[in-house]
Amino acid sequence: MKIGDRHYRSIWLEDGEVRIIDQRWLPHDFRIATLGSLEDFATAIRDMWVRGAPLIGATAAFGIAREMARDPSHQNLDRACALLNATRPTAINLKWALDRCRAALAPLADEDRAKTALSLACEISDEDVEINRQIGLHGMALIRDIARQKSNGTVQILTHCNAGWLATVDWGTATSPMYQAANADIPIHVWVDETRPRNQGALTAWELGAHGIDHTYITDNAGGHLMQRGDVDLVITGTDRTTKSGDVCNKIGTYLKALAAHDNGIPFYVALPSPTIDWTVGDGVAEIPIEARDGHEVSNIQGSASDGGIAKVRVTPSDTHCGNPAFDVTPARLVTGLITERGISPASAEGLAAMFPEHAQ
């Protein structure tokens, strides 16, 4: 996507180095970081310099490529995969990318691993871009249908977290239909959930603003009220792991939006790239590991200070214990449809098996 005059991906190769947009400072400061060692890659994923399920997967693949250039032994491949896989537990794209790297690299001779690992990381990135572009086209058709049914034409979309281009390699998942709709001159307005505790909604607001899309940043608690008043036509969120039966695990708070949408008869769609489907899991609530992050992310909030710097302030008493479950699971029954790169699927085992028969047992 474009920042000023330049087209960026969220991760890219430049002069033989792996560069990322360091998302810790957005939306206040645009900084680029270079990742070199395996530990750099692990830190960048764990500490959320990069974030979002598809981008985490692509970053891990580049981490393996860099590490194979240093030591391409089979033993080191296993070590690197284990180390990266332990960084964040919920988004399945991390394991998906590492499994794919290991399957492609393990059978090779040591001297062939580095080159293949780098092509694979580039391939995974390019595939992600194309998957998300396709999701955008299918989602745009949905938005266009709603626009045609509305007298004033503007489609009101609510989204949670940042499932934007920053969370993928490009386009985003939930935002891709918005970008495609805007490019096709379909009028939209986006309600952007703040998404406490880390306020990924600010990243979404930054992206949408850069693309000239009309949007309003709201507190996490405002969505139900807006739905009751008829101010939301459609909810689109991303996902970190979707089960083979269509349960959707996404950023904490997604479930509450799905409940409110259900109560108000508002369609609730999830943008789902196929690498985010965990074909080994049936019951999302019982089986998906939910990342528990540091309570410090809840007790403290980061923003732009009046002196222009970036500052953190504490919002709780210093000794308050804070809980920080980072994701929740929305059961399939609350999901109207899954927008995949192959089309829109019902959120059900039958729907997903029909859309991806090569994975159906």
3-class DSSP state for residue 3? strand
Q: Show Cβ contacts of residue 49 under 8 Å, excluding neighbours closer than 6 positions.
A: 20, 22, 23, 24, 33, 43
> What's the DSSP call for residue 159?
E
Question: Is the separation of the CB atoms in 328 and 249 below 8 Å?
Answer: yes
Question: Is the separation of the CB atoms in 195 and 119 below 8 Å?
Answer: no
> CB 168 → ligand MRU: shortest distance, Å?
5
Given 239, 242, 299, 340, the residue binding ligand MRU (CB under 6 A): 239
> CB 19 → ligand MRU: shortest distance, Å?
19
* Segment near ligand MRU (CB under 6 A); pick from 45-53, 222-230, 261-269, 352-360: 45-53
Tokens describing residue 210: 């850069």
Given 59, 125, 173, 245, the residue binding ligand MRU (CB under 6 A): 173
> CB 173 → ligand MRU: shortest distance, Å?
4
- Using the rule CB under 6 A, is 168 a contact of ligand MRU? yes
| Measured distance CA(159)–CA(139) in Å, rounded | 13
Q: Phi and psi for 300 in degrees, rounded to 5?
A: -120, 150
- Using the rule CB under 6 A, is 200 a contact of ligand MRU? yes
> CB 316 → ligand MRU: shortest distance, Å?
21
Does the annotation count 240 as an active-site position? Answer: yes
CA angle (284, 176, 180) in 5-degree steps? 145
- Using the rule CB under 6 A, is 330 a contact of ligand MRU? no
Give the nearer residue to ligand MRU in terms of CB position, either 72 or 253: 253
Q: Which residues pair with 33 in a beta bridge?
A: 20
- Using the rule CB under 6 A, is 117 a contact of ligand MRU? no
Within residues 67-106, the interface with ligand MRU by CB under 6 A covers 91
Tokens describing residue 141: 């058709």
Give the nearer residue to ligand MRU in terms of CB position, either 108 or 218: 218
* Segment near ligand MRU (CB under 6 A); pick from 14-22, 50-58, 67-75, 143-151: 50-58
Question: Is the separation of the CB atoms in 244 and 224 below 8 Å?
Answer: no
> CB 53 → ligand MRU: shortest distance, Å?
4
> CB 210 → ligand MRU: shortest distance, Å?
17
* Helix orientation angle between 53-70 and 74-85, rounded to the nearest 10 degrees: 150
- Using the rule CB under 6 A, is 54 a contact of ligand MRU? yes
Given 105, 270, 326, 347, the residue binding ligand MRU (CB under 6 A): 326
Given 77, 167, 181, 260, the residue binding ligand MRU (CB under 6 A): 167
Tokens describing residue 121: 């990381």
| Measured distance CA(151)–CA(137) in Å, rounded | 23
Residues in the chain: 361
Residue ranges binding ligand MRU (CB under 6 A): 51-54, 91, 161, 163, 167-168, 172-173, 200, 238-240, 250-251, 326
Give me the active site residues, please: 240
